[in-house]
Amino acid sequence: MLACSRLTFIFLTVAVPCALSQHAPPWTEDCRKSTYPPSGPTYRGPVPWYTINLDLPPYKRWQELITDKAPALKVIVNSLKDVVNAFVPSGKIMQIVDQKLPGLLGNFPGPYEEEMKGVADITGIPLGEIISFNIFYEFFTICTSIIAEDKKGHLIHGRNMDFGIFLGWNINNNSWVVTEELKPLTVNLDFQRNNKTVFKASSFAGYVGALTGFKPGLFSLTLNERFSTNGGYMGVLEWILGKKDAMWIGFITRSVLENSTSYEEAKNILTKTKILAPAYFILGGNKSGEGCVITRGRKKSLDVYELDSKEGRWYVVETNYDRWKNPFFLDDRRTAAKMCLNQTTQENISLPTIYDILSTKPVLNKLTVFTTLMDVTKGQFETYLRDCPDPCIGW
């Protein structure tokens, strides 16, 4: 949605000077050790839990949560408006978003339309802006996801949620504006039917999709953004023009978490369903070998890279680059994560050691909003808000 030349401008002025050597201290550091349980300057605090009752009609499900979080949601929606108005000062874009976007996009399938309407009505924020808030994550989610298997075949799935690049830099305290505003909006959600957990997710209040979640005992799923020239913009355009056979990526992950009942079923759907934007799905199961990174084009899967302990492949790591390509030279979180996994060794893989790896710069960076740790078989699901005090790289 933002013009490329302007992005390049921001990139050159803000980003490049501090990124010239992402491979050297202070932007990188030795693999962290003994950082768990979280404490100290890189730990911002805990994340509150809310229950989302799937037995309620979609329009009503988010009421309690959104009533609590409406002020914080208004702050961020206003920031995003400011960004848009900075690019197109006439205010025309926001006018279109408020008045025309819901009509342009038409109805969303499943529960999503009614859920977003519920959020809009409770907050008094125009539906078009709530929809934009939901679409945003299709484009700007820069993350690191890891699934590792220990010597006993036990799986741990971890992820850093990095979000807010290019959306404004606060020069007073060297932080990303939107990243900071997302921290008070971060919530843990327990989606229930008949008073029983169906799945759990870590998310941002006002967002009705799911980018990070698990189904206890069955599988875990995270979504990372994939940049591609045949990107999501084309998908959205086709959607507007009436071709609605593809799924929004944050909505397909929510549907899988809610309705799939096994690793294999989830894998099948995530591999085959047409989607609006390219993406990486990082899916873990409940036993040895069940962990994969699915690299998706909009129409089909390009690669499914799965754990294979016998071949020595006891972990998979995904940041935001195809595994057969080098990462962008200013953004190599992948090598850092792999190096720390190698140093940890398969013997010592555990929830705490995965937290150590996700706490090591530049895997941890100024875009990191939260860290989630999931143990499907033990039913553990933990999310922690993060900070990355100076010196720390912007992404």
Q: Does 175 bind ligand NAG (CB under 6 A)?
A: yes
Q: Does 380 bind ligand NAG (CB under 6 A)?
A: no
**Which of 180, 225, 318, 382: binder of ligand NAG (CB under 6 A)?**
180
State which of positions 56-115 bind ligand NAG (CB under 6 A).
Answer: 110-111
Detail the DSSP E strand segments found in 67-154.
141-149
DSSP-derived pairing of the beta strands 186-193 and 49-53: parallel
**Helix, strand, coil share (%) of the chain residues, nearest 5:** 35, 25, 40
Q: Does 197 bind ligand NAG (CB under 6 A)?
A: no
- For residue 233, the minimal CB distance to ligand NAG (Å) is 25
Q: Count interface residues toward ligand NAG (CB under 6 A).
A: 27
**Which of 10, 127, 304, 339: binder of ligand NAG (CB under 6 A)?**
339
DSSP 3-state of 17? helix
Q: Does 387 bind ligand NAG (CB under 6 A)?
A: yes
Could you give the CA distance from residue 134 to residue 157 in angstroms, rounded to a whole number?
25
The torsion angles phi and psi of 160, rounded to 5 degrees, stand at: -100, 130
Closest C-alpha to 125, from 167, 97, 104, 106 = 97
Q: Which stretch binds ligand NAG (CB under 6 A): 128-136, 242-250, 256-264, 275-283?
A: 256-264
Strand partners, 318: 145
Q: Does 391 bind ligand NAG (CB under 6 A)?
A: no
Q: Which is nearer to ligand NAG, 382 or 387 (CB)?
A: 387
Q: Does 21 bind ligand NAG (CB under 6 A)?
A: no
State the amino acid at position 258 in one-letter form.
E
Could you give the CA distance from residue 49 to residue 46 in angstroms, rounded to a whole number?
10
Q: Which stretch binds ligand NAG (CB under 6 A): 11-19, 241-249, 250-258, 272-280?
A: 250-258
Evaluated on CA atoms 255, 296, 373, 140, the torsion sign reads negative
DSSP 3-state of 80? helix
Q: Does 314 bind ligand NAG (CB under 6 A)?
A: no
- For residue 239, the minimal CB distance to ligand NAG (Å) is 17
Catalytic annotation on 4?
Answer: no
Q: Which is nearer to ligand NAG, 97 or 333 (CB)?
A: 333
**45: Cα separation from own chain's centroid:** 19
**E strand or H helix that includes residue 257:** helix 249-259
The answer to whether the beta carbons of residues 148 and 156 sit under 8 Å apart is yes
Contacts of residues 299-308 at CB distance under 8 Å and 24 or more positions apart, as own/partner, are 299/274, 300/272, 301/271, 301/272, 304/267, 304/271, 307/147, 307/149
- Classify 356 in phi/psi space as left (phi over 0), alpha (psi -120 to 50) or beta: alpha
Q: Which stretch binds ligand NAG (CB under 6 A): 18-26, 157-165, 293-301, 343-351?
A: 343-351
Selected catalytic residue, list 31, 143, 340, 388: 143
Which residue's CB atom is positioned nearest to ligand NAG? 262
**Which of 45, 217, 379, 391: binder of ligand NAG (CB under 6 A)?**
217
Q: Does 255 bind ligand NAG (CB under 6 A)?
A: yes
Q: Tokens 């069955």 correspond to what residue?
A: 218
Q: Does 382 bind ligand NAG (CB under 6 A)?
A: no
Q: Which is nearer to ligand NAG, 226 or 366 (CB)?
A: 366
> What is the x/- site pattern for ligand NAG, positions 218-237, by CB under 6 A?
x-------------------
Rg (the chain; Cα; Å): 20
Q: Does 268 bind ligand NAG (CB under 6 A)?
A: no
**E strand or H helix that includes residue 155:** strand 155-163
- For residue 368, the minimal CB distance to ligand NAG (Å) is 11
Q: Does 13 bind ligand NAG (CB under 6 A)?
A: no
Longest dimension (CA), the chain: 60
The torsion angles phi and psi of 379, rounded to 5 degrees, stand at: 75, 20
Could you give the CA distance from residue 312 to residue 289 in angstroms, rounded to a whole number?
11
**Which of 113, 115, 149, 258: binder of ligand NAG (CB under 6 A)?**
258
Q: Which is nearer to ligand NAG, 197 or 262 (CB)?
A: 262
Q: Does 338 bind ligand NAG (CB under 6 A)?
A: yes
Q: Catalytic site residues? A: 143
Binding site for ligand NAG (CB under 6 A): 55, 110-111, 170, 173, 175, 180, 194-195, 217-218, 254-255, 258-259, 262-263, 286, 335, 338-339, 342, 344-345, 347-348, 387
